[in-house]
Amino acid sequence: MMAPAALARPAGASAGEMSVGGSTVVCVMRPDVIAQAAGGHGYGALPLAQEAVGGREAVAPRKLALVESAGPGVAGPGVAGPGVAGPGVAELRRGGLELAEVEFAVIDLETTGWSPRAAAITEVAAVRVRGGGRRGEFASLVNPGVPVPPGIEDLTGISDWMLAAAPRLPAVLPGLLNFADGCVLVAHNAPFDVGFLQAACAECGLAWPRPTVLDTVMLARQLMDPDEVPDCKLGTLAGFFRARTAPSHRALADARATADVLGWLIRRLTHQGIRTLDELRAWPDVVA
């Protein structure tokens, strides 16, 4: 199996290093992308798009994802700078903003199993979007400290060898939380991802930030006609909406696919006259 590609510095970019939890974090910055890799195992936005597609369709329960931050003026984890402040948490919880103005952090995780009590995170990713445009990405492998079961390795392609030099969870989780700060958290089958993230925060001694959470599975069940799709699995929806990235049981690819699906579902909400988070809360299984 091919090892993950090292993060390359694009033309016209600047780079810096810092120490996080015993790992070296390399930040490569350019006008349109700020890519971050912990221990050399993060992914640049363009190389991963080709690696992650892999031809496999995501139909299993969702997995957690860590992020790589990017976007003009958006400060990512470990990146010094003014950044662009998203909407205030209080305003997001009131739901006063129109959906087109809300900043979403779409996350996905890969894990060694299905329960946070018995499994660990192996990869995290997030895509930050607003108004249908991607504003940044953040991704990293995570050394779980336990072997990857053969069935999970077959599903994700993530092996013990790939994870051997990856950073541990305490070195990665703060960056993810920082990247998603101030956003509405989005996931496909959100209880799975949120459950793992809450357990991860407890394990690392971090406070769970209690973000507003939107579940694209539940939103799709409200909006999709049974004559359009047989189910609301990520692979099915991504195929129906012709997402730019095919889900592949890899964190960043699945987060990108979910972000595309979210954009199309928000378009459908708009056609139904639902334009704000407050209005969307009429479906409590969708937004919590």
Tokens, residue 159: 């092996």
What are 14-64's pLDDT values in tens digits? 333 333 333 333 332 223 333 333 333 333 332 233 223 333 333 333 333
Q: Mean pLDDT over residues 87-108, rounded?
A: 74
Does residue 229 have a pLDDT over 70?
yes
> Sorting pLDDT into bands at 50, 70 and 90, what band is 281?
confident
- Can you give the pTM of this predicted structure? 0.70
Walk me through the domains of the chain, giving residue ranges and CATH numbers: 14-280 (3.30.420.10)
> Sorting pLDDT into bands at 50, 70 and 90, what band is 135?
very high
Looking at residue 92, its pLDDT comes to 45
Looking at residue 61, its pLDDT comes to 35
User: 146: number of CA atoms within 13 Å, CB side?
Assistant: 11
Does residue 126 have a pLDDT over 60?
yes
* Residue 93 or residue 126, greater confidence: 126
Looking at residue 258, its pLDDT comes to 98
* Residue 61 or residue 113, greater confidence: 113
Output the average pLDDT for the chain: 75
> Sorting pLDDT into bands at 50, 70 and 90, what band is 282?
confident
Does residue 171 have a pLDDT over 50?
yes
